[in-house]
Amino acid sequence: MPHSRLHIKPIRCRYGKRRAFTLIEIVLVLGIILVITAMTAPSFFRQMKEAELPNSARQLRSLVTLVRANAAFDGMRYRIRFPEDDEEDPLGGDRQPLIEREDDPIEEPDTFNLVTAPWAVGRTILGDVWCAEVWLERPTIERMQDRRDTIRDAMEEALEDFSVERPPLVIEPDGSSDWASMILIKSPRDIGPDEFENYPRIELIMDGATGLAWLQRPFYDEELDLFEEKNWPAVLRQDFLDPRVLGEDDVLELRDFSVR
């Protein structure tokens, strides 16, 4: 039987010609991108600046929670404070919180050393934000009504090495502490307490026993009057940064929500 021959024709791949981009098209696309960027960049950076205060408050709350966890884990006392005059933070500025630990409570009680672990050093406070005041007490209507002189005079006797405006917060080995309020403000550093109300502020309020913490904007005068009239506590127990004025129904709704 004659052998049949199988003829295989080579397959040729044919590609269509591709049209390249011209220089004019590339320049046009880049120009459009630059125009869009120029239009959106100012709004983007403005939003970034406006977010510095709430983001700083949130990061500070996270740091306080981390310090409490480390105090309980190590079984040692920690301290959170802000730089005094002419003192630098680990980043070379004067805005970031300092985390310190009582390393030898037997031989050197009440001697706190700076913690330089990565978790304790970082850019917690952003931009022009700084901690203007620290209150080591449960918030009250009287304090929020700005009767500083009487309250600060009572605190001065308990403070020796630190300014009365920003005393250190000590975290005990079980993670507990005093109640604390840290008032963050976005303003120049050279303003006085009488000018604080002219700048955006957020108050970080922490329950020292439970470690729960809330971010709260300053109350308006009419809100403080309402709280005082109803004998309500000055802590909403939830984050509240809404600029709208609270009425009685609003407060009751917020409190009911926080209980649930």
pLDDT below 70 — which residues of the chain?
1-20, 41-47, 146-161, 255-260
Place of tokens 């700083």: 56
> Would 64 be classed as within a structural domain?
yes
Range of the domain at 113: 52-259
> Would 139 be classed as within a structural domain?
yes
Q: From the CA atom positions of the chain, what is the Rg in Å? A: 29
pLDDT digits (tens, 9 = 90+) for 44-53: 556 678 899 9
> Would 12 be classed as within a structural domain?
no
At residue 13, the pLDDT reads 55
> Would 85 be classed as within a structural domain?
yes
Per 3-state DSSP, what percentage of the chain is helix, strand, and coil (rounded to 5)?
35, 15, 50
Task: Count other C-beta atoms under 10 Å from residue 24's C-beta.
Answer: 8
> Pairing state of beta strands 113-114 and 78-81?
unpaired
At residue 50, the pLDDT reads 80
Global pTM? 0.77
> Would 9 be classed as within a structural domain?
no
> Would 113 be classed as within a structural domain?
yes
DSSP bridge pairs for 184: 131, 202
**Residue 141 backbone zone (phi > 0: left; psi -120 to 50: alpha; other: beta):** alpha
Supply the CATH number for residue 122's domain. 3.55.40.10
> Would 175 be classed as within a structural domain?
yes
> Would 67 be classed as within a structural domain?
yes
At residue 45, the pLDDT reads 57
Count up the domains in the chain and report the number.
1
pLDDT digits (tens, 9 = 90+) for 196-225: 889 999 999 999 999 999 999 999 888 888
At residue 10, the pLDDT reads 58
Note the helical H segments in 157-230.
Answer: 221-230
Closest CA to 82 of 64, 55, 58, 65: 64
**Gap between the Cα atoms of 60 and 254, Å rounded:** 24
